[in-house]
Structure 1
Amino acid sequence: MSACKRVQQWATFARTWHIFDCKWQDPYQSAGVIKKYLMGMHKPIYHPLNDCGDVVVCINSREIALRGEDWRRRAYFHHTGYPGGASWTLAWELHNKDPTMIIRKAVYRAMQGNLQRRHTMERLFIYPGEDIPEDVLQNVTNQIRQLRLVPTRLDHIPEEEVKNYPKVMDYPEDYILK
């Protein structure tokens, strides 16, 4: 076996660490992408009973974006296991209590039908901000592309760039703004 084929085989069977930025991303669309890497569906050796998935680190989960009025209307179910222990929590309340929980629940639900999803979820690390422990950051070797691009705010663009931007038209000298 050539050295190139050996490296390719090693890369296929190794657990790679991926990082995903959740800033301004829909958690339910992102869950499908994260699920693909957690279960190993992006690898040629994938089989539903084979545990060949990778590790995914999600950052900026505090800055997720839900569609429409989902912050006020979407409710999450939780049961303690005791009689009368059922509760429904609105998305904004759950996000204020734990900013990582909406992403965690979306990925868990996306893996419905996977017999190993509890063990697969152990390879998912979610952080509310950009502060990641150094030992986790050292293992990351790949970045998962965001589904939506995050736009740059106008107040973050330098003034020189704004002034040098080509104008569509110039207002006359005697123009008065009303």
Structure 2
Amino acid sequence: MRTFSPKPADIEREWFEVDADGAVLGRLASEIARVLRGKHKPIFAPNTDTGDHVIVVNAAKVQMSPGKAETKLAYRHSGYPGGLRSRTYRELLDTRPEEVIRRAVKGMLPKGPLGAQMLRKLKVYAGPTHPHQAQGPKPLEVDHSVRRLSQGRSA
């Protein structure tokens, strides 16, 4: 039996919508990366982009572990000597909540051109509305990856 390699004509892309209200950042990002990569499809191939589009709404309401927002730093570099800048995730959540989710998902995708192609299919919005209603997005169930931090840890 020959190994199946998906061709561009075999790939059917769908649109999914995820509500990030109360979701834990890392668990939500891993589920989004799985769908962007196409691991939920039977035609998955690690060297091909078989994934779907994902729309994330309410990015400003995403949760992080207690204290992590104040201690974890997001770095960026201007390209010049001494150009390293850092901000806490709390500052990033207050000013650009879309960037927090985009960074978390980007770290879970393959590096290089293939990962960049997958990341372009991610649309993140801070509020509850988005301009992609024409694509007919389906709700993406991420109940197993969402956990309220106020309920405590379960062992």
Q: Verify same fold: TM over 0.5.
A: yes
1:16 alignment partner AA = E
* Residues 161-176 of structure 1 mapped to structure 2, 5 A cutoff: none
- The match for 1:126 is 124
TM-score, normalising length: structure 1: 0.72
Q: Which of residues 79, 89, 92 in structure 1 aligns to 2:90?
A: 92
Q: Does 1:78 align with 2:73?
A: no
Task: Give the match for residue 56 of structure 1.
Answer: 54
CA deviation profile, 1:27-56 (whole Å, cap 9, x unmatched)? 111111001110111111111111211100
- Residue in 2 aligned with 1:143? 139
Deviation at 1:112, TM superposition (A): 4.4
- Paired with 1:13 and 1:45, the residues of 2 have a C-alpha distance of 8
SS of residue paired to 1:78: strand
Separation in structure 1 between the aligned mates of residue 130 and residue 59 of structure 2, nearest angstrom:
12
Native 8 Å contact 1:40 1:46 kept in 2: yes
Map Cα deviations across residues 74-99 of structure 1 (whole Å, 9 max, x no partner): 11111122221111110111112211
Unmatched runs of 5 consecutive residues or more in structure 2: 1-9, 149-155
Amino acid at match of 1:62: A
Name the SS for the 2:103 alignment partner: helix
**2:19 aligned to which of 12, 18, 21:** 21
For residues 78 and 140 of structure 1, the distance between their equivalents in structure 2, rounded to whole angstroms, comes to 35
When residues 52 and 125 of structure 1 are mapped into structure 2, their CA distance, relative to the original with a 3 A threshold, is: same
RMSD value, Cα: 1.7
**Equivalent residues of 1:57, 1:125 under 8 A apart:** yes
Q: Which runs of 5+ in 1 are unaligned?
A: 1-11, 151-178
Match of 2:109 in 1: 111
Does the Cα contact within 8 Å between 1:23 and 1:61 map onto a contact in 2?
yes
Displacement of 1:13 in angstroms is 2.2
Find 1:36's aligned residue among 30, 34, 37: 34
Counterpart CA distance in 2 for 1:112 and 1:97 is 27
Native 8 Å contact 2:24 2:147 kept in 1:
no
CA shift, 1:148, in A, is: 2.7
Q: Which has the larger radius of gyration?
A: 1
Provide the C-alpha distance between the structure 1 equivalents of 2:124 and 2:104, rounded to a whole number of angstroms: 12
Give the match for residue 69 of structure 1: 67
Q: Secondary structure at the match of 2:32?
A: helix
User: Percent identity over the alignment?
Assistant: 25
Runs (4+) off by over 4 Å:
112-115
| Greater relative contact order structure (CA < 8 Å, 6+ sep) | 2
